[in-house]
Amino acid sequence: MVSYKQADTLEELEQILDLQQRNLPKNISQEESTKEGFVTVEHTMDVLKAMNDMCGHIIAVEDNQVVGYALCMHPKFKEEIEVLRPMFKEIDNALDGKANYMAMGQICVAKSHRGQGIFRKLYQTMKEKLPEGFDTIVTEVDGKNKRSLAAHESIGFETLTIYHSGEKEWHVIIL
């Protein structure tokens, strides 16, 4: 049975990084990334732990194994990950400085557990566990990641803005 909670051990953070590695474009085929989706950012343990210390990442666990995660990224980390800096700039512009949002830094469900409602439950748990004063979740999805865009739309995310950075089209979405 899958349970949901905030990550609180180094082992859980290591399992998040392992699941992340298994879903990066460099580690899966083009066909798989089109069909199954992919994650974009490759976190270091130092940044992942610092983010978790500020607001615990949401994890789905079965038999002591992380089978899904949604990373909580407090806006204070907007300068920490270079590829995400444009996203925070777009969010700040679109929200006109409104600061009570939490960025969902990345979401991933293990291939073995997809299609079981884990994605939806990770977000539900994230909303329940947001720190006091936060009432909005914002994230971005690569325009080529059709599976992720559809999944986010199905649980109520709406497009805040679309922008281009480098070769990519990014959809900034809000819940």
pTM, two decimal places: 0.92
In the chain, domain spans: 3-174
Residue pair 51/73 in contact by the 8 Å Cβ criterion: yes
| 29 confidence band (pLDDT: 50, 70, 90) | confident
**Tens digits of residue pLDDT in 89-105:** 999 899 886 768 999 98
Q: Of the CATH numbers 3.40.50.720, 3.40.630.30, 3.40.50.620, 3.40.190.10, which one belongs to the domain with range 3-174? A: 3.40.630.30
Residue pair 139/71 in contact by the 8 Å Cβ criterion: no
**Tens digits of residue pLDDT in 137-170:** 999 999 988 989 999 999 999 999 999 988 889 9
Task: List C-alpha distances in Å: 34 to 28, 111, 125.
Answer: 10, 14, 27
C-alpha–C-alpha distance, residues 18 and 33, integer Å? 17
